[in-house]
């Protein structure tokens, strides 16, 4: 399932400093736990596009689970938006979650209904 996410273009991209190879981490799994992540692909990519890509990745993950007889558990699911702004002096500050109240994430429950995480 991780390979499917990666092949669909989801996941964090980062460059390995010494080898200068771009690596993709689609998600981290352990037993029935999965951590998915998305990051900006360019320095000026809009947060709305990153959020849209994350929502699509989570939807795909949910569809794959249902296909295999599983389901996402909304009561055990949560997510964090980590965003920051570069300051003129080269440092950064994290944005407040209230600055991104429009960013909500939805997953399908056992009945197939979309539930906010």
CA 15 to chain centre: 18
Q: How crowded is residue 113: how many other Cβ atoms within 10 Å of its Cβ?
A: 10
- Tell me the average pLDDT across 74-84: 89
pLDDT in tens, 20-56: 888 888 877 766 678 888 999 888 899 999 999 999 9
Per the structure block, which two tokens stand in for 93? 């500050």
pTM of the model: 0.81
- Tell me the average pLDDT across 57-61: 92
How confident is the model at residue 99, as a pLDDT? Answer: 86
Residue with tokens 């440092």: 91
Instruction: Find all residues with CB under 8 Å of 1, minimum gap 6, and list them.
Output: 29, 61, 64, 65
| Phi-psi sector, 11: left (phi>0), alpha (psi -120 to 50), beta | left
């Amino acid at each position: 399932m991780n390979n499917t996410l990666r092949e669909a273009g989801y996941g964090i991209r980062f460059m390995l400093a010494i080898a200068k190879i771009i690596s993709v981490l689609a998600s981290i799994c352990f037993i029935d736990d999965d951590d998915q992540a998305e990051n900006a692909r360019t320095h000026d990519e809009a947060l709305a596009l990153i959020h849209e890509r994350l929502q699509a990745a989570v939807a795909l993950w949910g569809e794959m689970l249902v296909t295999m007889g599983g389901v996402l558990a909304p009561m055990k699911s949560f997510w964090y938006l980590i965003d920051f702004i570069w300051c003129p002096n080269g440092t950064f500050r994290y944005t407040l979650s209230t600055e991104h109240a429009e960013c909500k994430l939805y997953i399908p429950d056992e009945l197939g209904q979309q539930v906010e995480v």
